[in-house]
Structure 1
């Protein structure tokens, strides 16, 4: 075993695992960190990796020979070749002085591997004051019912054909939110259902795909979704209706929880906070 849990556990201010992202606090064990090291050797997906559903090969992997693991700090670098490529160093440990050292490691490894990006990912606890970056939020389906919303939300395939045809233009308009990628997966029949809302026979918002899969400890998790509403259709409560419809779908299909990542201060962040989700901490990315 590489990691000492008595060293690493106190450093985990937020439940973020390199190459996997946020995980449920109950799944945050030494085994999951050992798993990502083993996966670095094979280049494959772990059975519970959320990206496994997209197929292909795992793009991001841990640079295991460069891991720094000490009683007061742990640096875990990862490499991705997507686009121009990047190195991310996940810096665990309370002192902010470690960030500069982590940035130097990221810059050095980016040069060694000839990639353009060098970043430090800093997990921060839920009580952090003036947080930046991404908030990690937990929706627990085992505590309260998630009723179906009263509004024009249904799977894309349940809308009339003339409305379904408008999804393509909607996806192009919201490509920066991942909807063009999602549309391609839908056309290839490689994902679960996508929920959509329409105004005047035109799709103006969507969330999906809707899929439930087991996490690292076998608990059913509602997978992350792409979620977008056209700018001109915002302010009417459609985003909240879509989100509530997705939570209703997840609970009805046996999910125990969902983890959501929202940009601090953004509209999705405000929505989730107003819906009473539990904040698990933050992920702050710093360019090296």
Structure 2
């Protein structure tokens, strides 16, 4: 199917695209939505899909659009996806400003979860940056062309830049921060599938990390600093290490030619407060609910 841009553009409250996640507002075009449909038909990664960094071929368990169940109408568009990871998840991305879009998305998600024997059914609603009392995930924009990002200094180095004894403390750190994805990151590090990971160490023990640090072209060919995993041990918080790590990552991104980054942060969480205090622009919100 082909999307009508005059139908779709008015209901795109935030720059979120199924299977791709947040994209730069300049890249939010009818072509990028057409690309995700073509990728679903071929099973291949799009050239600018950020998940390509974890492997050259798209896994059958990766999220893909359910082509036959897309609903495209003048005032609302519903795009369902299916992931086979874990026990399976159906998501319906509901673009539309009326309650009818949400209601239809809930029904569609529940129906498709049953059809595909998926354990989880969710509805994803993009919300505009002016949303009052938002909750969920905020999409933020760090523009590297706006101003310099100085090197913050401090006890931050790539993991491989520390002595072997300090490097050895990354594994227990990752295990302690498994809820933040650090175990997965550590696995990718060990098989050499990702860029450098910046770490903070105190008394010869790694207590914080951000990474991997990688720059890749977006849908328009502009270099983007890809999203990172970011965590600091609870007992090491409140000392400014998180801000030093984040600024070190931004310095790395700017010095490696990135034009921008699109962090996703939990509204009201530590990373969200940090990014807001650092002056990042808010592009909108992603509200996800169970169907």
Say whether the fold is shared (TM-score over 0.5). Answer: yes
TM range (shorter): over 0.9
The answer to which of 268-277 and 95-104 deviates more is 95-104
CA distance in 2: counterparts of 1:39 and 1:57, whole angstroms: 10
- TM-score scaled by structure 1? 0.99
Residue 33 (structure 1) aligns with = 33
- Among 90, 93, 97, which residue is 1:90 paired with? 93
Q: Is 1:285 aligned to 2:288, yes or no?
A: yes
* CA RMSD after TM alignment: 0.8
- Among 143, 146, 149, which residue is 1:143 paired with? 146
Show the 5 A alignment for 1:209-224. Answer: 209-224=212-227
Residue 117 (structure 2) aligns with = 114
CA distance in 1: counterparts of 2:189 and 2:54, whole angstroms: 11
- The structural deviation recorded for 1:43 is 1.3
- The structural deviation recorded for 1:175 is 1.0
CA distance in 2: counterparts of 1:178 and 1:116, whole angstroms: 21
Residue 160 (structure 1) aligns with = 163
Instruction: Write the deviation string for residues 135-180 of structure 1: whole angstroms up to 9, x where unpaired.
Output: 0000000010000003111111111111111001101111111111
Instruction: Write the deviation string for residues 75-122 of structure 1: whole angstroms up to 9, x where unpaired.
Output: 000000100101100000111232111100000000001111111000
Answer yes or no: is the 8 Å Cα contact 2:175–2:183 preserved in 1: yes
Show the 5 A alignment for 1:1-288. Answer: 2-55=2-55, 56-58=57-59, 59-288=62-291
CA distance in 2: counterparts of 1:112 and 1:137, whole angstroms: 35
- The structural deviation recorded for 1:42 is 1.2
DSSP-derived class of the 1:129 partner: coil
CA distance in 1: counterparts of 2:271 and 2:145, whole angstroms: 22
CA distance in 2: counterparts of 1:98 and 1:167, whole angstroms: 45
CA distance in 1: counterparts of 2:105 and 2:229, whole angstroms: 31
CA distance in 2: counterparts of 1:31 and 1:121, whole angstroms: 21
CA distance in 2: counterparts of 1:127 and 1:89, whole angstroms: 23
DSSP-derived class of the 1:236 partner: coil
The answer to which of 250-259 and 178-187 deviates more is 178-187
CA distance in 2: counterparts of 1:44 and 1:131, whole angstroms: 35
- The structural deviation recorded for 1:186 is 1.1
Instruction: Write the deviation string for residues 237-271 of structure 1: whole angstroms up to 9, x where unpaired.
Output: 10000000000000000000000000001000000
Unpaired stretches in structure 1, ≥5 consecutive residues: none
- The structural deviation recorded for 1:44 is 1.5
Q: How many residues align?
A: 288
CA distance in 1: counterparts of 2:279 and 2:125, whole angstroms: 25
DSSP-derived class of the 1:216 partner: coil
